[in-house]
Amino acid sequence: MKRRDFLMMSAAAAGLTACGQAGVDDAPVEAAPEVAAAPPVDPDALTAEELEETALLEIEELAALGSVETVLEEGTKFKRSASTTTGKLHRSIFTPNTMEPVFPIPPLTPELRAAFAARKYWALPPGEQPLPVWPALNKAPDYVHLAGYALAAPEFTLTHVLLKKLAIRNAFEINAADPVVVFGLRGCRMVAGGEEAGWAAEHAVVVETPTHLAPKCLVGLWRPANGQIALFRSSTVPAAHNMYAGLAVQGNGTSLLPTGLYRYVRGDHKAKYPKSIQRGALRINHDAYAVLRTAAELTYDPYLPTTAWTRGAAHNIHAAGLSDIFDSAGCQVVHGTYIRPERLKTKGAWDTFRRFAGTVDDTGAAPPATAQTNYQYMLLTGLEAALAWHGGADFEAGYSPLRFGSSGQRVADLQAQLITNHGSAVKGLAANGTFDMRTSFGVLLENKFLVNEYTTPVFVAQPV
């Protein structure tokens, strides 16, 4: 694979209009500005303590890993063509350069806990909350590789065949023998509305723009054996209040999980917190994966100098709460909550999700004897699923991305080229055929070389 085969990221915007066309001057699907609505008075609303513990969980688990290792060698230089100058990375990924004071793992001191507790987004006077911004599609890390593709219409039909096609195109090896596979579609909703849709061969869904103010994603369960799919209103992006709290410590505690194929195990979310514990949840089963952090703005725009790709932890799948004020510092969350004070049973779509996923039995209190223990989670975007459904010659010819969780010979070939280009910069990068965190950082470096920014860890080969 030659360097010309690497993605030359398009500078054109990929905004979606209501008619589904892509273009530089087009408005997004939802052109109206976001408004931070006041929290409802609800006895099931998340408590301040629950929200604070959510913000602290990632910091705790990262600290438990020891130090965040330096993946890139200090003082790494870019290989540039003869027509450009050679220089250091303008900001670092896991390096002690300009971002060093921005993304260290802070100690969990009483002062840090107090800083989180003091930053209550929804306690700010109405209209004074800083509004989060979802980046334009030509900047958002999970969308930028889709720049230039025209979408015939935002509505599409979600089917077993479509999910299988998406998995194959991404070189995701799906365990067809698993009773269920979990998947997420960032920026997507059910046409019929509602919080859940039971097992069916197909579902009518529509693309929309993600937001940090309300759950506007789908998490689903897929039975590969019989092609049945169940859907749940969810969020796959951090909530505004967690982002706001995280700015007190330069973005720690909250981060954006990029698309990919991830491993999960059945377990408890926030197990150390008896007043917040979520039993029958799914815990991410990776020690190392890349996430995007923001230190100063309520947006995950990789073009900003105060964002950086770093290491993540504790991006679990759990209950979101029952209102639009959902509980996520980067976890994948399903609409629903736990019944207090015992927190043994649940209600809302999360109750159905746990039973359908097999993390609990029909009573909702314990896993069945033959419960599934290990799960795959395929996270993509509603936009690429819609593009794959509608087809189109350009998309069909060009849509074969690689990202975290991809595997096989294409990944090994990519890694070999990344080693040639950046092997002296990324410690331990190996051509092992598994797209891991080090491969993510190799792709980010390649994109930095090509477009002068760490745009995305998603790799797309440029047609020869």
Distance, CA of 197 to chain centre: 22
Q: Report how far residue 140's alpha carbon sits from residue 16's, in angstroms, rounded to the nearest whole number.
A: 13
User: What pLDDT is stored for residue 33 in this prediction?
Assistant: 55
In terms of DSSP bridges, do strands 22-23 and 346-347 run parallel, antiparallel, or are they unpaired? unpaired
Nearest CA among 320, 463, 316, 310 for reference residue 393: 463
The predicted model scores a pTM of 0.86
User: What pLDDT is stored for residue 66 in this prediction?
Assistant: 53
Q: Report how far residue 404's alpha carbon sits from residue 453's, in angstroms, rounded to the nearest whole number.
A: 19
User: What pLDDT is stored for residue 38 in this prediction?
Assistant: 57
SS3 annotation, the chain: CCHHHCCCCCCCCCEECCCCCEECCCCCCCCCCCCCCCCCCCCCCCCHHHHHHHHHHHHHHHHHCCCCCCCECCCCECCCCCCCCCCECCCCCCCCCCCCCCCCCCCCCHHHHHHHHHCCHHHCCCCCCCCCCCCCCCCCCCCHHHCCCCCCCCEEEEEHHHHHHHHHHCCCCCCCCCCCEEEEEECEEECCCCCEEEEECEEEEEECCCCCCCCCEEEEEEECCCCEEEEEEEECCCCHHHHHHHHHHCCCCCCECCCEEEEEEEEEECCCCCCCCEEEEEEECCCCCEEEEECCCCCCCCCCCCEEEEECCCCCEEECECCCCCCCCCCEEECEEECCCCCCCEECHHHHHHHHHCCCCCCCCCCCCCCCCEEEEEEEEHHHHHHHHHCCHHHHHHCCCECCCCECHHHHHHHHHHHHHHCCCECCCCCCCECCHHHHHHHHHHHHHHHCCCCCCCECCCCC
User: What pLDDT is stored for residue 7 in this prediction?
Assistant: 31
* Separation in Å, CA 89 to CA 53, 100, 408: 35, 13, 30
Please tell me the total number of residues recorded for the chain in this structure: 464
Which pLDDT tens digits describe the chain residue by residue (464 residues)? Answer: 333 233 322 222 233 332 333 333 333 344 345 666 655 555 566 777 777 777 778 877 877 765 444 454 444 443 333 333 333 333 444 433 333 334 567 777 788 788 778 888 988 998 889 999 999 999 999 999 998 899 999 999 999 999 999 999 999 999 999 999 999 999 999 999 999 999 999 999 999 999 999 999 999 999 999 999 999 999 999 999 999 998 888 788 899 999 999 999 999 998 888 888 999 999 999 988 999 988 889 999 999 888 888 888 899 999 999 988 899 999 999 999 999 888 888 999 999 999 999 999 877 767 776 679 999 999 999 999 999 999 989 999 999 999 999 999 999 999 999 999 887 778 788 999 999 999 998 999 898 888 888 899 999 876 53
User: What pLDDT is stored for residue 266 in this prediction?
Assistant: 94
* Separation in Å, CA 203 to CA 2, 145, 206, 222, 376: 41, 26, 10, 12, 21
User: What pLDDT is stored for residue 103 in this prediction?
Assistant: 57
| Buried b or exposed e, range 286-303, using 16+ CB within 10 angstroms | beebbbbbbbebbbbbbb
User: What pLDDT is stored for residue 152 in this prediction?
Assistant: 94
User: What pLDDT is stored for residue 346 in this prediction?
Assistant: 93
Contacts of 464 (CB under 8 A, 6+ apart): 4, 5
- Written as six digits, the tokens of 414 are 């990519």
User: What pLDDT is stored for residue 39 in this prediction?
Assistant: 55
User: What pLDDT is stored for residue 52 in this prediction?
Assistant: 72
| CB of 170 closer than 8 Å to CB of 222 | no
